[in-house]
Structure 1
Amino acid sequence: MATICEEPPSLLQDLKITIQNVSLVFPSQRTERKSMFLSNIDKVLNFPVETVHFFPAHKDFPPRVVAEKLKSALSKILAPYDFLAGRLRSNPETGRLEIDCNSAGIGFAVASSDYALDSLGNLVYPNPAFGQLIYKSMDNLEQDDQPLCIVQVTWFKCGGFAMGILTNHVTFDGLSFKIFLDNLGALAADKPLAVIPCNDRQLLASRSPPCASFPHLELAKFKDSNPPVFDVTSEALDFKVFRLTSHNIGQLKEKAKASGGKRNEARITGFNVVTAFVWRCKALSWDKETIQGSNLDRVSKLLYAVDIRARLVPPLPRSYAGNAVLTAYAMAKCKEIEEMEFSRLVELVSEGAKRMTDEYARSAIDWGEIYQGFPDGEFLLSSWWKLGFDEVDYPWGKPRYSCPVVFHRKDIILLFPDIDKNNGVNILVSLPSKEMDKFQSLLRNYFA
């Protein structure tokens, strides 16, 4: 049965962090001064992403050694990833967002905590205090000169440490960030790059002239050059973590097969069944008192990201270092979602990814050129489940756990991995109290 990670009573609100040192790290060798084009996918992702990677103590790598090795590796990695040491700029002629590759450097902070790593409790639980492990801005720099990346190394009393990384999303998507971490681990071990990054963002430029040949129900139209981000709700939200074990996921797969999905077994993946299941719970959890009209007549639109590297013709290199994900969608009336077989719900989810052909992807990129297209749906399911950040090999070993620093949003549901690596998944949901009660009831009853 699915379980709920209740808030641990010992959840720390203050990690008692002391910043020891803050500096800039520059490329270890001279790099070419140039402007980097940002694709229409990149430019709508102009917001920070915060991740924390926890490591146990290692007798051969005391705090000072790790800090020195990381700082040296970061300096080296800024040569092949020269854009990371640059600054965001608006092109004075076109008004288009781009990166000035000016070797201005990235931030590096060293900090300490009064606690031991084990005192932090359940690392899977989205503790807002983990935000203290992220150095968010360089106080001595102007707003338009802030780095695109800041790394904070925080030492715990036990000798363990956390590596908190802030990056602007224009720099990486999940896959390219994982490759960046693999390369960082290799350089810290005095090895060559694991993968040479492909930095040519023109590969995802719009066509000339742009041609949006599909309706793109997953995108809204905006005429100005600065589309909004997802609106942050002002509602009071409850948040909970629901854990599905590998057994639960197997149950969902069997349910999809038993309800008519055997003819489409290739679509019955772990991601598709979990996404369909979450969509059903979210769509049917709306509070009738907060919306107009019949709850079941409402159309629910799910959004999720699809990697397009292998879907383009010719395919993008796997080493493409920018954002190569587009938004897929599935939509249906809530009445249909409530009544349809689970296999059909899984099929609707899988059709979103299947729809993402070369022509569809190029059309979506062109849509962004014409309409400043921005994702438009009831909610976005953001999956960190299979990115493998905790599989990165550093000289001091793999992380005990890696996770995003989460923020609670009604319009974003987050999937992230379990700490025991048994292929289970944790689902972070933030909803108003009445909707959360309904979501929880739907989730639990489905396995009853």
Structure 2
Amino acid sequence: MYPDAISLPLDLGDGLILRRSTAADADRLAAFNVRIHSDNPAEPQHSLDSWTRDLLSGRHPTVSPEDFTVVEEATSGRIVSSLCSIPQIWTYEGIPLKVGRPELVGTDPEFRNRGLVRRQFEVVHAWGQARGESMQAITGIPFYYRQYGYEMGLELGGMHTGYLSSAVKELKEDESEPFPIRPAREQDLEWIASLYQRGSRRYAISAVRDRTTWLFELNGRRPDSANGSKLFVIEDRTGKPVGFFCMPTEPWLGGTIGVCTQVELENGASWQKVAPGLLRFLRQEGESVAAGLKKTCDRVGFSLGTAHPIYDVLKEQLPIERKAYAYYVRVPDLIAFLRSIVPVLEARLEASPAAGFDGELKLGFYRNGLVLKFESGRITSVEAYQPTSWSNADAAFPNQVFLQLLFGYRTLEELRYAFADCWANQPGRLLLEALFPRKPSLVWGIA
């Protein structure tokens, strides 16, 4: 617990006060986030203004106007540091988990290196504990969030693109689009949600989106919000919906790419037949966005993680690959987390060469550890374990490296190659490879 972080407002000394936000902070927080987070100060990203206001509006499906932390000067009221936490539900192979997503983490340059972000993370981590969050996840710059107990351990992004000249096939003069595309409507949302949920089953980790979230995505955000998406429906020539897809409202790479960030089709619909028209639409939308920025759209593509059916269909047209980055993840109680996913672990074990295992798997983390106990392939307990020496375990992982294995981001062999102090004996290797295989994730986090 963090009693000092929960008891807000908190005097931080040096004339600074840490408190919760209110709806009345919208103007100042929006201006602060535009100033701090714009990539180029000479070209302010006004979409950050809209995103901040959306989060503070009271209309957001998971965030209240009190879910920002604010550090301000007591005398002037000037905001000098802030962040927020966005509650949501993700699934681990179908098992729901409460997740907190810290975002918009920033400090005025004049006030950096004073521990202000650390104190705010103590607050949002305490909020997460009170909410029953199993984990927190955040996107961010390299290394930074490791300071607060996070590990880059979950797949984020990944994109395949191609140049217009080679990716987009023109229709002949007498041809019409075989699969017309239109904006999504509210009456489409239940059907879209079902396609999204079915597509999520191919991934280890995905985000749950309920009707309120889909409504907010469709028409609840400000039009230029930094995390907004435009939803579209793909129909056949009879007007029957066969799929949906999303494009971001924020231009990608300066408007040079027309990009799709979600796409799913009905069972039986042909990816090969739908893909050419989808590429033509991405080009059209990309060129429209680029023209508004007085730039040129030169590529189209899909940002769908590392694995998706359309990548296989369009392999030749989309030869430019942008490797996946990573979410920072934090699991405050690893034993509780593992207990919550026992059904998944048992199913994986049953389908592996280690099926029916009896015994223990001791995992050491050098300062502490845990042990999983098995009877006939069933996990009977997950408990704390204190190694008596560094070698008194079946496998060992430094720092937070085990989280990469837990979330399917890296294989055990990859971790052993990258970290000399990551190792496993033969029984440990067999079990870990069965319990924690590498598997792609596509997390469209709530923002």
**Which TM-score applies when normalising by structure 1?**
0.28
Q: Using CA pairs under 8 Å that are at least 6 residues apart, name the structure with larger relative contact order, 1 or 2.
A: 1
